[in-house]
């Protein structure tokens, strides 16, 4: 059992009640469960995505855990057994697989709902590359754009894309509003939005202020702006996948609700494999994952479709 993290302060009962109300948890006991996961710092669980470089029939050199408890998990994703460190193997350095948190695979599994392979796809906030890797593990990349506005993070994105052999992929660095004004249309747009990152605490990573209202409000405002640009890039009949690694409804359900009210012609898609995670905070299909669900550190996802 890892030592408790000092990243999360001990909360008095009134503060717990406020957090309970803000996250719309059913009971104070759920706040205790969430805070325990944050303090423990071990709720994040690694997964690996087999890359396009992995030959047919390839299996990683480490022991993998049984994944039957995760029916939504994409076929080319493996879960290392407890105690395994997939980054220490030569196959990792050779780009045969990409390592990320299991909850990222949970969000990326929404792509299984796509009725056909997108001809053109855009990963708008792509660095370090996890969502593009998950897309490549589920469909054939035909004309894919991985975009990252931050130059340093774009360099990491480029390295990962080259190492893992993402095919038919271009790396770009435009702002979301530039994409919105570009006139380019895509069958799939993925927005792994910048957020307060509350789930980082559940991985033992320091993230000061992530539970504060001001950080949450600032991120929600930025997320609405990003999505208003992103919807302009979705072709008729196309899809937009919105994901975050935070729990606050203001950055999740309320952002999607804002877009559905503000932008005509979009609807949220129901994903039957994710029914267990249907949020209780929205009257449209959207999904939230908390640490006690034992599928990684947690997050939020929603798949939107544009009318024909």
Considering the domain boundaries, does residue 164 fall inside one?
A: yes
Which residue, among 285, 297, 290, has the nearest Cα to 113 in the 3D structure? Answer: 285
**Rg for the chain (alpha carbons), in Å?**
19
Considering the domain boundaries, does residue 31 fall inside one?
A: yes
Domain that residue 281 falls in: 13-306
| pLDDT band (50, 70, 90) for residue 14 | low
Torsion (CA) 174, 221, 189, 148 in degrees, nearest 10: 30
What's the chain's length in residues? Answer: 308
**Which of residues 253 and 41 earns the better pLDDT score?**
253
In tens, the pLDDT along 256-268 reads: 999 999 999 999 9
Q: How far is CA 199 from CA 80, 112, 140, 291, in A?
A: 20, 24, 30, 8
Is 245 one of the annotated active-site residues of the chain?
Answer: yes
Considering the domain boundaries, does residue 139 fall inside one?
A: yes
Q: Structure tokens of 86?
A: 């997939």
pLDDT computed for residue 202 by the predictor: 82
Listed range (3-7, 13-17, 81-85, 106-110) with the worst mean pLDDT: 3-7
pLDDT computed for residue 206 by the predictor: 85
Cβ count within 10 A of residue 232: 18
Query: What average pLDDT does range 83-92 have in this prediction?
Result: 95
CATH of the domain at 96: 3.40.50.150
Query: What average pLDDT does range 60-67 have in this prediction?
Result: 95
Alpha-helical segments (H) within the chain: 13-23, 28-40, 90-93, 102-108, 130-138, 151-164, 176-180, 213-230, 253-262
Total domains, the chain: 1
pTM recorded for the entire structure: 0.92
Considering the domain boundaries, does residue 81 fall inside one?
A: yes
Considering the domain boundaries, does residue 1 fall inside one?
A: no
Q: Which of 105, 195, 245, 301 is flagged as catalytic?
A: 245
pLDDT computed for residue 29 by the predictor: 60
């Amino acid at each position: 059992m890892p030592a408790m993290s000092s990243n999360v302060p001990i909360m008095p009962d009134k503060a717990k009640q406020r957090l309970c109300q803000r996250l719309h948890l059913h009971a104070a006991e759920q706040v205790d469960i969430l805070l325990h996961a944050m303090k423990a710092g071990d709720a994040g669980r690694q997964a690996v995505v087999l890359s396009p470089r992995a030959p047919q029939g390839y299996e990683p050199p480490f022991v993998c855990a049984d994944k039957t408890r995760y029916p939504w998990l994409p076929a080319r994703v493996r879960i290392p057994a407890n105690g395994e460190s997939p980054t220490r193997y030569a196959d990792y350095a050779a780009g045969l697989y990409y390592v990320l948190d299991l909850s990222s695979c949970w969000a990326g599994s929404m792509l299984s709902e796509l009725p056909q392979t997108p001809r053109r796809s855009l990963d708008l906030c792509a660095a370090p590359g996890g969502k593009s890797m998950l897309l490549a593990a589920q469909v054939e990349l035909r004309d894919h754009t991985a975009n990252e506005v931050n130059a340093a993070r774009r360099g990491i994105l480029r390295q990962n894309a080259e190492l893992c052999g993402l095919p038919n992929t271009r790396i770009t660095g435009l702002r979301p509003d530039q994409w919105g004004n570009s006139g380019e249309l895509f069958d799939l747009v993925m927005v792994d939005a910048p957020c307060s990152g509350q789930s980082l605490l559940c991985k033992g990573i320091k993230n000061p202020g992530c539970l504060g209202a001001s950080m949450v409000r600032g991120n929600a405002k930025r997320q609405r702006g990003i999505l208003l640009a992103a919807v302009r890039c979705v072709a008729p009949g196309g899809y937009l996948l919105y994901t975050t690694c935070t729990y606050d409804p203001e950055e999740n359900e309320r952002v999607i609700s804002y877009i559905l009210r503000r932008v005509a012609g979009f609807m949220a898609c129901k994903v039957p494999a994710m029914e267990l995670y249907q949020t209780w905070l929205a009257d449209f299909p959207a999904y939230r994952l908390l640490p006690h669900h034992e599928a990684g550190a947690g997050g939020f996802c929603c798949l939107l479709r544009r009318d024909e």
